[in-house]
Amino acid sequence: MNIRNEIINITNSINNKSGYSSELLKTYDYGDLDKRDIAYIKRCVFTEIENRFFIDYVISKCSDLELNKLDKIVLEILRMATTEILFMKTADYAVVDEAVELANNLTHYKDYVNAVLREVCRINLDEEDLGDEIKFSINKELLKMLNKSYSKKTVKKLLKSFFYKSDFVIKQNKLKENNLKTNLENQGFVLEQHPFLKDSFIVKNPESTIDTNEFKEGKFIIQDGSCSLCAEVLEPVENSIVLDICAAPGSKSCNIQEITNNQSIIYCNDINENKIYRIKENVNKCGVENVQYMNFDATILQEDLINKFDRILVDAPCSATGVINKNPEIKLFRTKKDVEDLVLIQRKILENCEKYLKKGGILVYSTCSLLKEENEENVDYIENKLNLKREDIDFYGDKNEFIKLMPFQKGTQGFFISKFVKD
């Protein structure tokens, strides 16, 4: 198995929008490759996608041909090799030799590939004034939406944060464990208390965390701080009936049942039947009980669910712009039309869930989006169009109309949480 062939296969899958890069890299069949080769493939793919527009710009400066007229395989070979030359520690001559050999095996452009890459090795861009679209590899439509939502200063901080490595956050499962910090520290892990969540920790040396018995036995889950906050805002209580309408992978449902000590009944729904298995897996691992599973399209009203629930969590499908540092292809491909379509889906789900909620019940609406179209504008829609009243949320000792977490904040990615009560 040739690692550079595999890199091209994976980047082609991402280009074809076959799934998020984080999932593709995790589930890809690497055959008999050793851990070092797999790590190299993952790093090269991620770095290329993260810097795609910048890399294409460099190639265009070194090529006599327009990129949109190149054979797709040739372009992917050039992208991969340029990534290695600019960002990896592999010797330039080795990169060029490997790319030329690959071009000879897969195409008729080995001489062209050789010429372009030798120019890439010599290029100096230090004095070039690159615009944000190229410098941060973000498409014009998404950049325009961010500029609409935030000040120039905040947009710049966001663009830089898309290249940050997220803090590795774990959430103790109190259904099974009360001494997680001590137990993991005794095994050599360095844990720091999460800045705004109880029972959550930032692991400074997360390598091998998933190999611990504590993880295998469901004594903690790997969960971004923004996610576990949803359950706290929902305020589930014992003997209540709860709906997690878009539940996969199930970690928020586990948080909810942990708060009620398994004394509420929670319905976990997802449109994707395959994801129900993932939810069940997490639920069973975490010792969560009193769970019902459903598999329906949340945009279609279910008459039998009307006025059934005391609490509803709507963690809606969204643009995922708050997790770009995990899935950098989002900043390449996400368009205004995508967001407009998602807003329609979000509002239809909210309209249905308002009907499922009992009078006096609480609904929490959340997204991992940074865009006002999916967040603040949907809060206005809920307040003005639905029979739901917004409630302030206590956070950091203050009353907040909603919680907006930014990916440049410690211990979190981009996330939005709002809370409503049915009149």
Q: Count other Cβ atoms within 10 Å, centred on residue 14.
A: 23
Question: Cis ω on the peptide bond leading into residue 249 (within 30° of 0)?
Answer: yes
Distance CA 17, CA 133 (A): 20
Distance CA 46, CA 22 (A): 9
Residue numbers in the known binding site are 246-252, 270, 297, 315
368 assigned to active site: yes
DSSP 3-state percent helix, strand, coil across the chain (nearest 5) = 50, 15, 35
Q: Which of 290, 403, 307 has the alpha carbon at shortest distance from 353?
A: 307
- Residues in the chain, overall count: 423
**Active site residue: 62, 268, 286, 368, which one?**
368
Distance CA 328, CA 351 (A): 31
Burial 297-315 (b: 16+ CB within 10 A, else e): ebeeeeeebeebbbbbbbb
Q: In sequence order, what are the residues at sequence separation of 6 or more whose Cβ sits closer than 8 angstroms to the Cβ of residue 420?
A: 362, 363, 364, 365, 382, 383, 386, 388, 389, 390, 391
Distance CA 211, CA 205 (A): 13
Instruction: Find how far residue 275's CA is from the centre of its chain.
Output: 16
Q: Dihedral angle at the C-alpha atoms of 314, 315, 316, 322, nearest 10 degrees?
A: 150
**Which residue is listed with tokens 């290329």?**
48
DSSP string, 282-333: HHHHTT--SEEEE---TTS--GGGTT-EEEEEEE-----GGGTTT-THHHHH
Residue numbers in the known binding site for S-adenosyl-L-methionine are 246-252, 270, 297, 315
Half-sphere exposure of 161 (CA within 13 A, CB side): 23
The amino acid sitting at 396 is Y
Q: In sequence order, what are the residues at sequence separation of 6 or more whose Cβ sits closer than 8 angstroms to the Cβ of residue 153?
A: none
Angle at 260 between CA 255 and CA 264, to 5 degrees: 100
The amino acid sitting at 364 is V
200-203 and 191-193 beta bridge pairing: antiparallel
Q: Count other Cβ atoms within 10 Å, centred on residue 85.
A: 20
Active site residues: 368
